[in-house]
Structures are given as structure tokens and as C-alpha cells.
């Protein structure tokens, strides 16, 4: 069902990944108390991660998810041929602060999320504002399977076969006005089904945003599934964004509103810590996070204590496809 409206206006990282400094520092203090010395602290942190993943793995698939029909992507040269991250790793160690700040919290708490019925409201500077039922969003374009890297801050990455279609398909249908320069994405904020909404970690609802040319880029995916199945709740069901050349927190989950605006949106992590999480948040090995280097990374599933790191690629390896979007920009200033 498509309901027209009349108004104008719509990884598997370490525990410190995308975490406010006060929370991050507290966890590090705990590790220091538990293990003496740098080597001991590192071993303890690795053991804690392994224990979290093991305890969560049994809860990933309480029942087999429905298959989601898709075809191989037609985007030439855009997808990686790298080994896929195991489903259990990608779906059991997540960032979804509405369900908790630890990486094992979402898989444990997200079953409370109700994904039917679901709709996404399109509003703002568009000729055709509307409220799309999920069923109508699914029908807008053929679903493609795209194997994208997703890069997390603090040196972790994964390779996931996402199912969806280019966000540009939806954008063209709603016909943005010439004054629309940005697209804002709003995540559901329901304290009844999301137990951490209302906590002081972030300003709710969770908001992310893209420049219009970024949103229109064919790599930017409106995703409904992964690994050939519908999205599990903890991974952003029933519909999320995937922007593969940016850090993972830019890919908003469980979307309920898409707003077109002439002003740069105030995004959740930029508001929480502007010096650490810039609006663009492009993967750039030459720009360190204030508290750690981003020059190297470990792939999920290859993250043993002594696993070798790999060099971080500019724009997460998508420089040939998206580099022209930022021609002439100071990428250290606009990080």
C-alpha cells in the first residue's frame, strides 16, 4: 500500500568501536584491572571478544529466515571477490545502540523489534512526498546481491553479500526539488521494543545523512537482506542503508523516515563527538581517529590475537568508483 501525504517536509568491531569516550575509557579501565601489562590487557580483550561472540552465536538464527529473491549485481567493477565473512560473525557482533552498547547486546535484545507492519515516510524537498509500506518498497526495483566490504572504526572490517537496490531508484521516484542538497535518514526510536532508546549515550532518534550526490551514487544501497535472506533484526531489519566507502555507522538501520533538505543534517555521532566522527566519515587511512590509527585493519574471521593486519584502502577500496565525488576537497578537514 502506498499512502500519499500532503506535507512538504523526510561489524564486528571491538567494544570501543563507535563508543563515547566515557564508555570506552571505562571498559579499558576494567581491562587494566583484570590484566597486568600491555600484553595481558590485549590477551584479556581478545578473550572477552571471543567469549561474547561464542555466547551470542546460538541466538543468531532462532529459526531459518525467509529467502529473499535476488539477482547478481550488474555494477561492473564495484563488488569485491574477497572471502565472505561468516554469517554468524556478521550477525552476532553488531553496533545497534538502541539495543545496547556492547556488541553482543543487539542479537540478544533485538528479537523484541516488530518489523511488520512497517513503512518509511518520504518528506521534505520533494515533489512526491509519500509513505511507502515495506511491501511497496520491495517492489520498486529488482533486488540485487552485492558483495560489499563494510569498514568499522578501530580497525575491523567484514565482507557481506547484501540484498537490495540502489537508493537512487527510490530518490528518482519522489523527484527531489532543485533546492534539495542532502538526504537525512531516521531510524526507529521505540522505547517499547528498543530498550536502550532514551539512554544518555546518544540523542534519539538515530539520524544519519548523505550529500545528494552520495545518496544518488549507484553503490549506495537500500538493503532488505543479507546472505540471501531477509535482514535479521540486529542487522537493521527490515530496511537499512549500506554505504560501502564510509564507516559502518553511516549506514542507518531500521529506517522509518527519509527527509530531503537544503541543510546538512545533524547526525547522531557527529552531535555526540564532532571531533571524532565527522559528517562525511569516508574511510581514509590518512586520517586517524583521535584515539587510534585507521591505517590498517583486520577482517572479521581472521582476527586471532596474532592475525596479520591488512592495509586500509582509500574509500574502503572504492576509490575508482567514488573518488570523483570529493575532487578538490580537503579530506582531512572534511573527514
168 lies in a domain? yes
CA distance 195 to 112: 9
CB 253, CB 240: distance < 8 Å: yes
Q: Which residue has the higher pLDDT, 320 or 79?
A: 320
> Stretch 153-168: mean pLDDT, rounded?
93
Three-class DSSP category at 151: strand
If you compute the radius of gyration of the chain from its CA atoms, what whole number of angstroms results? Answer: 19
pLDDT classification of 77: cutoffs 50, 70, 90: low
Q: Give the domain CATH number at 152.
A: 3.90.420.10
Q: Which residue has the higher pLDDT, 98 or 57?
A: 98
Range of the domain at 295: 2-326
242: its cell numbers:
549500506
Is residue 27 pLDDT above 60, yes or no? no
Residues 5-24: tens digit of each pLDDT:
333 332 433 333 344 443 33
CB 71, CB 145: distance < 8 Å: yes
- Residue 132: how many other CB atoms lie within 10 Å: 23
Burial of 75 (0-12, 13-18, 19+ CB in 10 A): middle
60 lies in a domain? yes
Total domain count, the chain = 1
CA distance 249 to 150: 10
292 lies in a domain? yes
Is residue 47 pLDDT above 80, yes or no? no
Residues 194-204: tens digit of each pLDDT:
999 999 999 99
94 lies in a domain? yes
* Strand residue runs (E) in 262-304: 296-299
Average model confidence (pLDDT) for the chain?
Answer: 84
Return all residues near 172 (Cβ < 8 A) that are at least 6 apart. Answer: none
335 lies in a domain? no
Return all residues near 279 (Cβ < 8 A) that are at least 6 apart. Answer: 209, 264, 267, 270, 334
Amino acid at each position: 500500500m502506498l499512502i500519499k501525504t500532503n506535507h512538504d517536509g523526510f561489524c564486528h568491531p571491538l567494544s570501543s568501536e563507535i563508543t563515547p569516550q566515557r564508555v570506552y575509557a571505562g571498559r579499558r579501565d576494567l581491562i587494566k584491572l583484570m590484566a597486568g601489562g600491555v600484553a595481558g590487557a590485549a590477551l584479556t580483550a581478545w578473550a572477552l571478544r571471543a567469549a561474547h561472540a561464542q555466547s551470542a552465536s546460538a541466538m543468531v538464527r532462532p529459526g531459518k529466515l525467509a529467502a529473499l529473491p535476488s539477482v547478481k549485481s550488474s555494477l561492473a567493477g564495484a563488488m569485491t571477490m574477497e572471502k565472505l565473512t561468516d554469517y554468524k560473525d556478521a550477525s552476532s557482533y553488531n553496533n545497534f545502540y538502541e539495543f545496547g552498547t556492547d556488541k553482543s547486546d543487539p542479537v540478544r535484545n533485538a528479537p523484541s523489534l516488530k518489523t511488520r507492519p512497517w513503512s518509511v515516510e518520504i518528506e521534505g524537498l520533494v515533489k512526491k512526498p509519500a509513505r511507502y509500506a515495506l511491501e511497496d518498497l520491495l517492489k520498486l526495483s529488482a533486488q540485487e546481491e552485492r558483495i560489499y566490504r563494510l569498514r568499522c572504526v578501530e580497525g575491523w572490517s567484514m565482507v557481506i553479500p547484501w540484498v537490495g537496490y540502489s537508493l537512487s531508484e527510490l530518490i528518482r521516484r519522489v523527484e527531489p526539488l532543485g533546492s534539495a542538497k542532502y538526504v537525512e535518514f531516521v531510524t526507529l526510536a521505540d522505547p517499547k521494543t528498543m530498550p536502550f532508546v532514551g539512554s544518555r549515550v546518544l540523542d534519539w532518534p538515530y539520524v544519519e545523512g548523505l550529500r545528494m550526490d552520495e545518496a544518488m551514487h549507484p553503490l549506495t544501497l537500500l538493503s532488505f537482506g543479507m546472505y540471501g535472506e531477509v535482514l535479521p533484526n540486529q542487522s537493521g531489519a527490515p530496511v537499512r542503508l549500506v554505504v560501502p566507502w564510509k564507516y559502518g555507522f553511516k549506514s542507518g538501520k531500521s529506517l522509518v523516515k527519509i527527509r530531503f533538505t537544503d541543510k546538512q543534517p545533524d547526525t547522531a555521532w557527529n552531535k555526540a563527538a564532532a571531533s571524532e566522527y565527522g559528517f562525511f566519515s569516508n574511510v581514509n587511512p590518512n586520517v586517524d581517529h583521535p584515539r587510534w590509527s585507521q591505517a590498517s585493519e583486520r577482517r572479521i574471521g581472521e582476527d586471532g590475537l596474532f592475525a596479520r593486519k591488512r592495509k586500509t584502502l582509500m574509500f574502503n577500496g572504492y576509490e575508482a568508483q567514488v573518488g570523483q565525488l570529493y575532487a578538490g576537497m580537503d579530506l582531512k578537514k572534511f573527514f
